[in-house]
Structures are given as structure tokens and as C-alpha cells.
Amino acid sequence: MLFNSLEYLFFLPVVFTLYWLLRKQLKAQNFFILAVSYFFYGCWDWRFLSLIIISSLTDFLVGMRLGKTENSGEAKALLMLSLAVNLGFLLVFKYFNFFIDSFVDLVSVIGMKPSISTLSIVLPVGISFYTFQTLSYTIDVYRKKLEPSKDIVNFFAYVAFFPQLVAGPIERASNLLPQFDRLRDFDFAQARDGMRQILWGLFKKVVIADNCALYVDAIFAGHESLNGLILLLGAVLFAFQIYCDFSGYSDIAIGTASLLGFKLMQNFSTPYFARDIAEFWRRWHISLSTWFRDYLYIPLGGSRVGQALQIRNIFAIFLVSGFWHGANFTFIIWGLIHSLLYLPQMLMKTNRKFLGVVAEGKMFPSAYEVFRMLLTFVVVTVAWVFFRSDSVGESFTYLLRMCSFSEAGFGEVLSELMLNANLLKLVALYILFMLVVEWFNRGKKHGLYLMPSNIVFRFGFYLMLCLLILEYFFGKTSFIYFQF
């Protein structure tokens, strides 16, 4: 079930109403959340519910046992069991064919032609997200940073919580699980803010991301015959497509959770206003970057080790992050690019230079801040070409042709691609509007966190967003991160 679908528009009010009818009945509310979460996920493919149930049951039982044992050997064995089950699912369903194909290509270089069959497997939607979510629980219990859950319904609901089940935020058990253990009261202010966040998420997804996709798909598909200006347009539009698509999903997820009395972590914080790569990664997909920081980078020694090991750790976290996104060398190259961009800042100890909000306390940024934001956006956009392309070769072809020029007119090329030039102008205005709104809410939880006090202007603003969403709503395209 998609957030940007009529089904969800009926589903959410029904869930909201029934959920709060069970007010003051904690066990009934949690069981209801579990049931509707399984229904929500089952709308894609009910067969993959078995994977969520197995992961949940494994980590619940492992956590219970970890809470009782004082034997370090047994504790390590239990942790390995959890890792084997959860990462095993990822290996089989997401990476098995990649490793087989890579092995065949490698040995074919030396003249061998092994006959190894790949598997015809459908990637379970959201598997990378809920796997990391349940793993964080087991690891924290193993580290004695979290008491094991004793209520199986609460734990299963934590793993399968439908707002963020499919594409995050990847919630830590220490934040979300205790919220299932305590009674939740309806908070009108929280619910109202949740509705605003849902509205802003839908605007970014339906109005910007889906319209950008029309141009991005056509331009990337025909990149071998297009001129540099059109390819540059495709790269820039993809940068905004993936941001508005993914942050739009996060906004809807966090807003939905707010309607139910839950508080999820912020997943995006205006990353395109970042002044360097380090700041970009503190603002982009925050739940994943902090997950890798806490469960990979710091255990490897982080920045507390020698310079050689620090370099290793930086490469490790970015390469694994790239591989997490998909079984393709394009994602690994994307991670490698970001590690090379981040490395000089880490070595020169400037990676924490920009910790505050850009132009804090001022209406407009300085020329220096504008330059740094534009430079960061450019290098991020170049890296996005690898993320979007189907192969590494296609990425390099795209970038090389992006540096070329031809006499073909802009409008002429758009016409050949059967793209609407007038809609493109509107999309540019929508992007500019989004940037202006988020600029005035930079440093806040979401783009509509602060609104004018004038009630006529405020509700006129909401009405305008609703009308724009309705204008483009029925395209019903999936979210990009569903494939991860």
C-alpha cells in the first residue's frame, strides 16, 4: 500500500479512528497496531510477512535469553545467531545473485566458464530497513545498553510499525520500543503538526518528485544521444527527485506516527543547504548514517585510532552504506565517491566545522555560504549520476556526455523526448517554492513546522498545497527507496 494512493487515504482515517477508540487500553492498541501493520505490509505480498515474523521472533527470543545469561560465550553465540538470521535473509534475497554474477564475471577473465545458476527472487520491500531496526535491538541488548522486551506483541509491533516499516526512519529500539510500553494520550498539538508534516511530504512526493521522474527517466534512458545541457538538467532533476521522494516518505511516516501518539526521529534536515559533505551526511538519511556510525564506525575504532585505521574506517562506512542501497557496483562507486570527498575533511579535522544552522539568526546567507552550498550540491549531484544509472559504464558515459555540447535547441530536444516544456517550467517553480519554504524552516523538524499566525493566510496556504497534490495525485508512482 502506497502512501500516495487512494487506499491509504481511506486506510489512515479508519486506523486513526479505531486506534483512539481503544484509548486507555494499551495491550489492545498495540495488538491493533501489529494487525494493521501486517495488513499494510501484506498488501504488497503477504508471503514475505513470514520473513518479518521470523526476524521478530528470533530477536525477541535472543533478547530474552541475553537478558538472563551472564556467560560471555553464550551471549556472543546468541548475537551471532541474530546476525546470521537477519543478514542471511539480506544475503539471499538481496545479494545472492549479485555475488554469483560477480564471481562468474571474475573467473571468466581467466578463461573459466562455471555453470552456476542464479535465483529467481523478488526483493521483499523494506527488508533492509526492518532488518537493521531489529538488529539494533539485539546489539543494544547484547551491549547491556537496553533491557530486553518481555512483551512479544509490543516487540513485534515495534519491528513492523507500519508508518516506517517500508522505508524508515530506521528507529532505534531505545527510542521507539519504550513508546509501546507506556500508555499514549491523544495530543491535539502533536496530531496537528503530524497532519502538516504529512501534507508537506505529499507535496514533495506527488508534486515535485513524481513530476521530476517524468524527465529524469526519459533523459537517463536516452543519455547516449543527448547533449550536455539536457543531461545536466536530468542530473539536477534527479537530485531533487530523490530528495523529495525519500524525505517526502519520511515526512509522511513521521506525521502518521504523530497522529498515533508516537515520536519518530528526524530523517532529513535540509541536506541541500549543507556547506560541505560532512554536514550533508549529518542531514541526509540521518537514521541510516547514525546507524552505521554507532554499529560499524565506532566499533571499528572510529576516529580514536591511528590515521591509517581512520582512513580504513571512513572507506568501510561509506562502501557498506553504498552496498546497503543495492546489489550493484554503481552504489559501491557512489559510496566510494563520498568517502573520497569526506576523507580530506576528516584528515584536516574540518568535518565538524559546520554544526549549526546555515545563516542562523539571519534572513539570507552570505555569499560565502551560498558558494559552499552550491559547491556541495554540485558534487553531490555528480555522485547521484552513479546512484541513478543502471551500470558503471552508463554512469561514465552520462558524465562524459554531460560535458559535451551540440547545436540542438533545448525545446527541440524536449520535443523529441516527448516531454512537456511548460510542465518543466512549473516543476522548476515548485522546486524553488519548496526551497524557499524549507529555508524559512531550516533547523526545524519539517518544512511546515513554522507557519504564519494569520489564519486566513495559513489555511489558504494549506488549501493551495492540497489542490496541487490533487492535481498530480493519480499518477500513483512508488517510492524510490522501496527497491532498497
DSSP single-letter state for residue 147: P
Q: For this structure, is 223 an active site residue? A: no
Measured in whole angstroms, the distance separating CA 80 from the mean position of its chain's CA atoms is 27
Non-local (6+) Cβ contacts of 71 within 8 A are none
Q: Which residue is catalytic, options 223, 285, 325, 338?
A: 325
Taking CA 371 as the corner, what is the angle to CA 370 and CA 372, rounded to the nearest 5 degrees? 95
φ, ψ at 308 (rounded to 5°): -60, -45
Exposed, middle or buried: residue 2 (CB in 10 Å: 0-12, 13-18, 19+)?
A: middle
Taking the C-alpha atoms of residue 306 and residue 435, their distance in angstroms, rounded to an integer, is: 41
Query: Which cell numbers in the block locate residue 40?
Result: 499494510
Q: Which three cell numbers stand for residue 276?
A: 560541505
Residue 376: CA count within 13 A, CB half-sphere: 23
Q: Which residue has the cell 558503471?
A: 392
All three cell numbers of 463, joined, read 488549501
439 vs 450: CA distance, rounded Å: 11
Residues with Cβ < 8 Å from 395, sequence gap 6 or more?
330, 333, 385, 386, 389
| Nearest-angstrom CA–CA distance, 416 and 421 | 11
Q: Do 118 and 96 touch, CB atoms closer than 8 A? A: yes
Instruction: Give me the amino acid identity at 30.
Output: N
What end-to-end distance do the CA atoms of the chain give, in Å? Answer: 16
Number of Cβ within 10 Å of residue 200's Cβ equals 24
Q: If phi over 0 gives left and psi between -120 and 50 gives alpha, with beta otherwise, what is residue 187?
A: beta
DSSP 476: -
Q: In whole angstroms, what is the distance from residue 156 CA to residue 152 CA?
A: 6
- Residue type present at position 449: Y
Kindly list the catalytic residues.
325
